[in-house]
Amino acid sequence: MERSLIHIDMDAFFASVELITRPELRGRPVIVAGESERGVVTAATYEARAFGIHSGMALGKAKALCPAAIRISPDRAAYSRISRGVMELFAQVTPVIEQISIDEAFLDVTGSIKRLGPARQIAEGLRQAVRDNFQITCSAGIAPSKSVAKIASKLAKPDGLLEVPPDQVEAFLRPLPVGSLWGVGPKAQAALRRLGIATIGDLADTPDALAIRALGSSAGAHLLALARGQDDEPLAVARAEKSIGTETTFDHDLPPGEEVRRAVIRLADKAAWRLREAGLACRTVSVKVRSADF
């Protein structure tokens, strides 16, 4: 039996959750970010995105692009609470769920169709249930593979649904930009551009040896398969949380030395406290530094 997978992704999740208690802000440019001018945008409504604002952008730059944007501080407890509720809704449909982030998941509904109807009907029911229970919207992609379902849900945004039947996978993929493939980042796109490869169809038609030489043996073979609609990767069900992180944004640039060391220790202590609260043991502490274009 051909698989029926649904990828569901919440629309502007953090911003949408904030608007649940601020309905008067719906339809306006809203950004979720900390108070510091050196902070970064965590999320933005589609009205704010229309000005070029996106997550990871420096708050100061976002304000310059849209001075009328309304800033809201993030409420991470609310995001976690809503996420858990949404995933519980999904679990009522199928036990085969791979949650890949706080606001998106894959569902294998192959075994649910006989009981609940076609995959499209299941996806529409879930989208309505999310809307009714949590006052937020989500988009869904339906396909026989994870990679195609994810592309479809992205194209359906915001608040839409796109189904790609098995016999239409190749026709669906071929005209899309090669960057639409899950796993093709800027570096891979640059390598493919040098070969004149712009679309997924171009990549699908590329000789294996040429693609592998440009992308490497593992990545090249994998991306060629995806471009040709060959993806039977199973869902990774019920993955245990393996890490807990903490973050902060500093009001000024930190020079190398003691101040950086103290900041790392503070963050590590905060992460260790969260691990203890969750009943987990700490084995490794890693530090990542992210800079923004100020």
pLDDT score of 276: 40
* Interacting residues of 279 by C-beta distance below 8 A, sequence separation 6+: none
Look over the chain and give the mean of its residue pLDDT values, rounded to a whole number. 87
| Lowest-confidence segment of 66-70, 102-106, 110-114, 241-245 by average pLDDT | 241-245
Q: Where are the alpha helices (DSSP H) in 92-118?
A: 113-116
pLDDT score of 279: 42
* Model-wide pTM > 0.85: no
Q: Can you read off the two tokens belonging to residue 105?
A: 């998941």
Going 150 to 155 to 157 to 162, the CA torsion angle's sign is: negative
Q: pLDDT of 222-244, one tens digit each? A: 999 999 999 999 999 865 444 55
**Residue 41 Ramachandran class (φ > 0 left, ψ -120 to 50 alpha, else beta):** beta
Q: How many helical (H) and strand (E) elements, i.e. helices and strands, does the chain have? A: 13, 8
3-state helix, strand, coil in the chain (%, to 5): 45, 15, 40
Q: Give me the phi and psi of 280, to 5 degrees please.
A: -110, 160
pLDDT band at 249 (very low <50, low <70, confident <90, very high): low
Which residue do the tokens 């379902």 mark?
149
Say how far apart CA 21 and CA 26 lie, in whole Å: 10
Q: pLDDT of 162-202, one tens digit each? A: 999 999 999 999 999 999 998 898 888 998 999 999 999 99
Q: pLDDT of 44-91, one tens digit each? A: 999 999 999 999 999 999 999 999 999 999 999 999 999 999 999 999
Domains and CATH numbers, the chain: 1-173 (3.30.70.270), 175-227 (1.10.150.20), 250-294 (no CATH)
Residue 55, amino acid: S
pLDDT score of 183: 85
Residues annotated as catalytic are 104
